[in-house]
Structure 1
Amino acid sequence: MMHLEDVVISKAIISRYQEELLEALESDVAVVGGGPSGLVAAYYLARANKKVVLFERKLSIGGGMWGGGMMFNQIVIQDEALPLLEEFKISYRVFEEGYYTASSVEAVAALTLGAVRAGAKIFNLISVEDIMVRDNRVAGLVINWTPVDLGRLHVDPLTVQSSYVIDCTGHDAQVAGMIVKKMGAVLKTTTGTLEGEKPMWAARGEMATVANTREVYPGLIVAGMAANAVCGGHRMGPVFGGMLLSGQRAARIILEGDKT
C-alpha cells in the first residue's frame, strides 16, 4: 500500500473544490435547494447541455424526501409521476390502485446521482443570503457558508451569476421572498405577492404544485413546495409525485423559453 501524505490529501481537496467553485461562478441556471424538485430540474437542464449549479444549505441533499412520512422512510407516488421513477430507475411497489410506494433513501440517492451524472454541479452547506437583479431581471445569487449564517458571523459573501434562478427552497420560498422584500416586486401570482401556503390537502396540493411552477419574476422560476408557498397552494405531505413533476416543468419552462 502506498504511503499517504496528509498535506497532499488536503491540497487535493482544496484545489479541486476551488476549481469547481470558480467554474460555478457563471452558469446558465442556479438552482437553490437540493430537494426532489431541484434535483429533477437540475437533471433535465444539465441533460439538455445547460450549465447547472445547485446550492443546498444543509449538509445532505434531498430535502424532506429523506424522512418519508414522520421518519417512516417510504414515500407515495401517483400514476402521473411513474415515468419519472422509471427515468431515474427508482424501484417501486403497488400499494393499491393509483398509489405506489418507494424507498425515500433510494429515491434521493437516484435523483442525486442522476443530476450529477447529467452534469449538474452540487454544492452543499452553502446558503443564499441575497439576490442580484439587473435591469429588472434576476441575474444571480449572493452566497455564503451555512455555518456563517448559523453562527451569525460577520463574514462578507460572494456572488455567482446565472441567466436563470430556480427557487426550490420549500415552504420558505426564500428567493421569491427576497424579491418581494427587497425589490417590492410584483410577482406573477393572483395577488402579485407571496400568497402563502394553505393547510395540508394532498389532492389539491399535488395538482397545485405543478400548476404553480412558473416564472414569477423575470429570470426566477419557483418549483416544488416553494411554488405553492408563493402562489397559495395547499401543502401535500409525503406524496412526492407533484414535486418530481414540478422539477421537470421548471426545466421545461427554461428550455422552451430559450427557444423563443
Structure 2
Amino acid sequence: MSLDEIQISRAIVDRYFSKLSDCLDLDVAVVGAGPSGMLAAMRLAEKGRKVALFERKLAPGGGMWGGGMMFNEIVVQEAAAEILKGLGVRVREAGEGYFTADSVECTATLASLACRAGARFFNLVSVEDVLVRENRVTGLVINWTPVETQGLHVDPLSVRARCVIEATGHPTEVLKVLLRKNDVRLLTETGGIVGERSMWADIAETTTLANTREAFPGVFVTGMAANATFGSFRMGPIFGGMLLSGERVAELVEARLAAEAA
C-alpha cells in the first residue's frame, strides 16, 4: 500500500475533531494530568462517567516524571503502594513503611489506564476562564497553550461539565482565574486560596487527603492543589498522598453526580 500524506492528515483531523466535539459536554472535566488527576479520571471513567483531562503541557504526568531532582524514582507509603500494585506497577520495599517505584513506569501506566478506561486527553490545552452560573462553576473556557504563551489574541472555546476537578498542582490555575474574574469566595477559612507552605512531608501527606474536597460549588481540588488551596505544606517526591487524593476526589465527585441524578 502506498502512503498518501493527505489521507494521513485527514485521518488525524477527522478523529481529533470527533473526539473534541464529543467532549464539549462532560460529566467531569479534569484540569491537570498529573498523578492525582489521571487516577481520578481513570476511576470516574471506570464508573461510566464521561471524563476529559485538559493538560497545558505536551506530556501528561506533572511532576511525577522527574522523581526527585530528576532521579526517576518515587517514594510511596504502604497504602499507595497497594494502589500501584493494583495498577500493575512494580513496587519495591525501601525500608520500614517506604516503597519505591519507577516514576516513568508509574506515569506511563496511569496515562495508559486512564485512556483505556475511556478518559480523553487533550494536551497543549490551557484553561483561561471558567463558566459560572448561579454561583457554581459549570464548565471551562479553553485555548491552545501556545496562544497563551505567545500572547496571541485568539478567542477560546467552551466546555460544559457537571463537575470540575482542579488538579493543576501548585499553581491552582482554575481557582485563581475564578477569583480574579468574579466576586466570589471559596470554601476556605479566608474565602481565597490560602497558599502553599514550605516542605514538611509528614504533615503534607496527611493534609493532602484531608484537603481533598469541594473548594467552590462545582470545583473539587486534589493533589497539591488541595494543599495550596486550603493552606498546607508541600511534600516533595513522595507521592502516596497524591495517589490517595486522586482516589478520594473520584469518590467525592461520583457521589455528587449520583446524588444529583437521583
Q: Same fold (TM over 0.5)?
A: yes
| Cross-structure match for 1:206 | 205
| Cross-structure match for 1:80 | 79
CA distance in 2, matches of 1:99, 1:62: 22
Mapping 1:1-260, distance limit 5 Å: 2-260=1-259
Mapped contact 1:176–1:222 kept (Cα < 8 A)? no
Q: CA deviation at 1:218?
A: 0.7
Q: Deviations over 1:110-150 (max 9, x none)?
A: 10111111110011000000000011111100000001111
CA distance in 2, matches of 1:125, 1:87: 30
Residue identity opposite 1:38 in structure 2: G
Residue identity opposite 2:191 in structure 1: G
Q: CA deviation at 1:257?
A: 1.8
Question: What is the count of residue pairs matched by the alignment?
Answer: 259
Residue identity opposite 1:208 in structure 2: T
CA distance in 1, matches of 2:66, 2:258: 38
Instruction: Please list every run of 5 or more consecutive structure 2 residues that lacks an aligned counterpart in the other structure.
Output: none
Residue identity opposite 1:138 in structure 2: V
Q: CA deviation at 1:170?
A: 0.7
Q: CA deviation at 1:84?
A: 1.0
CA distance in 2, matches of 1:186, 1:14: 41
Q: CA deviation at 1:259?
A: 3.3
CA distance in 2, matches of 1:131, 1:32: 11
CA distance in 2, matches of 1:37, 1:8: 37
- The secondary structure found in structure 1 opposite 2:107 is helix
Q: TM-score, normalised by structure 2?
A: 0.97
Q: CA deviation at 1:184?
A: 2.6
Percent identity between matched residues is 54
Q: Deviations over 1:157-189 (max 9, x none)?
A: 000100000000010001111222222322111
CA distance in 2, matches of 1:179, 1:207: 27
Q: Deviations over 1:37-78 (max 9, x none)?
A: 000100110000100010000000100000000000000000
Q: TM-score, normalised by structure 1?
A: 0.98
Mapped contact 2:126–2:143 kept (Cα < 8 A)? yes
CA distance in 1, matches of 2:25, 2:154: 22
1:93/1:52 Cα in 2 relative to 1: closer, same or farther (>3 Å)?
A: same
- The secondary structure found in structure 1 opposite 2:253 is helix
CA distance in 1, matches of 2:158, 2:191: 28
CA distance in 2, matches of 1:48, 1:126: 25
CA distance in 2, matches of 1:243, 1:50: 21
Q: What's the C-alpha RMSD, in Å, of the aligned pairs?
A: 0.8
1:259/1:25 Cα in 2 relative to 1: closer, same or farther (>3 Å)?
A: closer
| Greater than 4 Å deviation, 4+ residue runs | none
